[in-house]
Amino acid sequence: MRIAILGGTQGMGRAIARALVERGDQVFILGIEPEELARTAADLQARSPSNAPVGYAHCDLGDTATFAAALDAAQADLGDLEGVVVTAAIFATQEAMEADVDRAERLLRLDFTNTVVFCEHARKRLLARGGGTLCVFSSVAGDRGRKPVALYGAAKAGLSHYLESLDHKHHGDGLRVITVKPGFVKTGMTAGLKPPPFAGEPTAVAKTVVKAIDRGSPVVYAPPIWRWVMLVIRWLPRFVMRKIGF
């Protein structure tokens, strides 16, 4: 496949890019820092069985004006754009956002509004070519309202809702929408936080996501055990959720 990855220089985006390149797929990475983009592209080229150069372009999730040009660059470099993966996002604790409303506003804007706008740019390009794959990272935090992730979870709940609706509307048009719902994954985003049970490693989670891309699975939990954890959480009565800190 020929795939563009927003967030391809860090964490899960980089892990997915490596998994795809190592099996022979063509990738184009989108990110903010020029030096990190160049360094990651060189690393991916070295991992490619054919040593094929990996292209990259500037794209800032905080600046919607960068979206169209970045996807145009990916399309031009790859020759076709069969898939788009979105892992870019920001995170802050509930306590930090309650203490700083500007920080809360930025997270809600980037993780929901701007991510949806980027997906709309990607959707139009994929549908114009007759279809393709749009794989976007949401979170288990959006499955149920919970105390520790009220604001972050709200952004991810909205994103999951949008992606499901997109799947319903355009599946018949050839658009395969994959919503990834990771639990806690040990990346830079979660650095400094205490890992809970079932915490995932980027490489293992990337393999799960790549399998979902190949199969066209509409929803994937990673690590997979989170599907069952969240099934239980979604069925807990409200009076129980008020008492527990999960």
Query: 57 has which bridge partners?
Result: 30
* pLDDT for position 199: 62
| Residue 94 clears pLDDT 80, i.e. is over it | yes
Residue 197 vs residue 50, higher pLDDT: 50
The confidence band for 184, taking pLDDT boundaries of 50, 70 and 90, is low
Please state, in angstroms and rounded to a whole number, the distance separating the CA atoms of residues 153 and 146.
8
pLDDT at residue 16 above 90?
yes
What's the per-residue H, E or C state across 10-25?
Answer: CHHHHHHHHHHHHCCC
Tell me which residue of 152, 128, 125, 12 sits closest to 67, measured CA to CA. 125
Q: What is the CA radius of gyration of the chain?
A: 18
Please give the helix or strand (H or E) that residue 221 lies within, else none.
strand 219-222
* Cis peptide bond N-terminal to 202, omega within 30: no
Nearest Cα residue to 126 out of 159, 156, 162, 167 = 167
Q: How confident is the model at residue 183 (pLDDT cuts 50, 70, 90)?
A: confident
Tokens, residue 214: 């190949």
The pLDDT of residue 46 is above 60: yes
CATH number for the region 2-243 comes to 3.40.50.720
* Amino acid at site 197: P
Q: Where are the beta strands (DSSP E) in 75-182?
A: 83-86, 132-137, 175-182
Q: Which residues are CB-contacts of 120 (< 8 A; sequence separation ≥ 6)?
A: none
Give Cβ neighbours of residue 153 (< 8 Å, ≥ 6 apart): 139, 141, 142, 144, 145, 146
Percent of the chain predicted with pLDDT > 70: 93
Work out whether the CA dihedral 33, 35, 36, 38 comes out positive or negative: positive
User: What is the overall mean pLDDT for the chain?
Assistant: 93
Strand 219-222 with 132-137, pairing:
unpaired
Domain ranges of the chain: 2-243
Give the dihedral sign, CA 113/19/215/187. negative
Q: For the chain, give the percent of residues with pLDDT over 90.
A: 87
pLDDT digits (tens, 9 = 90+) for 150-180: 999 999 999 999 999 999 999 999 999 999 9
Contact 43, 125 (CB under 8 A): no
